[in-house]
Amino acid sequence: MEKDRTFRITDDGDEKDIRDIHEKLKVFNLHHREASKNVPIGIFYEDQDGKKLAGLTGETFGNWLCIHYLFVEEHLRKDDYPYTGKRHYYTKQL
């Protein structure tokens, strides 16, 4: 890691920090994707009474899918599907 760079870990949800990262991601994505409009998307798994048991919300643009929220009721989560229901933290040396 470069000596003039540091990691800063926060626990305050600072809106400016979030906006800065969102803007950088938008600039990168816009430069690397085909021209298209953003289309909202919702995919829901419901029981016979219309109660939502799982769902995904986000948007599509071209061949890209941006997931905003993903939820699966706890009783539907399986131990052999490691990315549903449990948080996994990964670190990588830069």
Query: Regarding predicted confidence, which is higher, 37 or 45?
Result: 45
pLDDT per position as a tens digit, 15-31: 999 999 989 988 887 78
Count the domains in the chain: 1
Task: Establish if 85 belongs to a structural domain.
Answer: no
Question: Coil, strand or helix: which one is 42?
Answer: strand
Contact of 67 with 40, CB cutoff 8 Å: no
Q: Which of 93, 40, 87, 26 is nearest to 68 (CA)?
A: 40
- What is the domain range of residue 68? 15-76
In a domain, 39, yes or no: yes
Please tell me whether the overall predicted TM-score, pTM, comes out greater than 0.75 for this model. no
Handedness of CA 31, 13, 5, 89 (dihedral sign): negative
When mean pLDDT is compared over 9-18, 22-31, 80-89, the highest value belongs to: 9-18
Structure token pair of residue 88: 């996994």
Domain holding 59: CATH number? Answer: 3.40.630.30
